[in-house]
Amino acid sequence: MRIGELSRRTGVSVPTIKYYVREGLLPAGQLTSPNQASYDETHTRRLRLIRALIDVGGLSVAGVREVIEAVDDPAQPVHMMLGSVAEQVVPQYEGEDGSEQGEQLTAARKTVAELIARRGWRSYPEAPAAEALAVALAALENAGHGAFAAAVLDDYATAAERVGQVDVEFVARNVVREELVESVVVGTVLGDAVFAALRRLAHIDASGRVFGLGE
């Protein structure tokens, strides 16, 4: 297909498509004449992935390039490829700047390492998700709610194990590497939003039971 058709099918404008080609994110089309290139399903699929990474995952072009290099490297095992994708979509808790959290952060990192050991989770020391968890725990401690973290952490971990297992089983249905990666990014980011909303609905339900509905 021509570039105009590719643009219509994917909803990505022609200048943006050309920009992705220049940036090396999208392979150039096959030249059919000096001024005309032809695109196929591999381009459609790649564009879907790029848009998911940028629009849903919030990745920069540099982040997209890193993910695509991992996707395009057939020597990279799936687990490692997904790891490099996951590192790009770490949840960021945007709180106060952490200048006063030095001590709490050190303690929180220890809590996280103990949790990972206690649950028997395969992880690796510099996993950004482990650091993100430590930052959130330090923020709780800093806000005077360290007891909350201590009380709920293992129940949260049990729930996260269930959700994480379901997520990975679902994305594993994909066989094409690009579709697998796209599904991981979309599922990770939008899955957060889905779970956060469900948790609030569960709060309304539990609050009614615990405190009574009032009149």
* Residue ranges in 29-68 that form contacts with a second copy under rule CB under 8 A: 48, 52, 55-56
Query: Which of the ranges 14-22, 26-34, 63-71, 185-193 carries the binding residues for a second copy, by CB under 8 A?
Result: 185-193
Work out how close the CB of 112 gets to a second copy at its nearest, in angstroms, rounded to a whole number.
Answer: 8
Binders of a second copy among residues 97 to 136 (CB under 8 A) are: 116, 119, 121-124, 127, 129-130, 132-133, 135-136
Q: Is 74 in the site for a second copy (CB under 8 A)?
A: no
The answer to whether residues 28 and 39 touch, using CB atoms and an 8 Å cutoff, is no
Best CA proximity match to 119, nearest among 138, 133, 105 = 133
CB-count burial class (<10 Å; 0-12, 13-18, 19+) for 182: buried
Work out how close the CB of 26 gets to a second copy at its nearest, in angstroms, rounded to a whole number.
Answer: 18
Query: Which of the ranges 20-28, 36-44, 65-73, 182-190 carries the binding residues for a second copy, by CB under 8 A?
Result: 182-190
With respect to a second copy, which residue has the nearer C-beta, 28 or 147?
Answer: 147
With respect to a second copy, which residue has the nearer C-beta, 102 or 164?
Answer: 164
Q: Is 186 in the site for a second copy (CB under 8 A)?
A: yes
Binders of a second copy among residues 141 to 170 (CB under 8 A) are: 143-145, 148-149, 151-153, 155-170
The answer to whether residues 111 and 137 touch, using CB atoms and an 8 Å cutoff, is yes
DSSP annotation of 98 reads G
What stretch of H or E contains 36? Answer: strand 36-38
Residues 85, 69: Cα–Cα separation, whole Å: 10
Residue with token string 């096959």: 30
Work out how close the CB of 29 gets to a second copy at its nearest, in angstroms, rounded to a whole number.
Answer: 23
Kindly report the number of other CB atoms within 10 A of residue 126's CB atom. Answer: 8
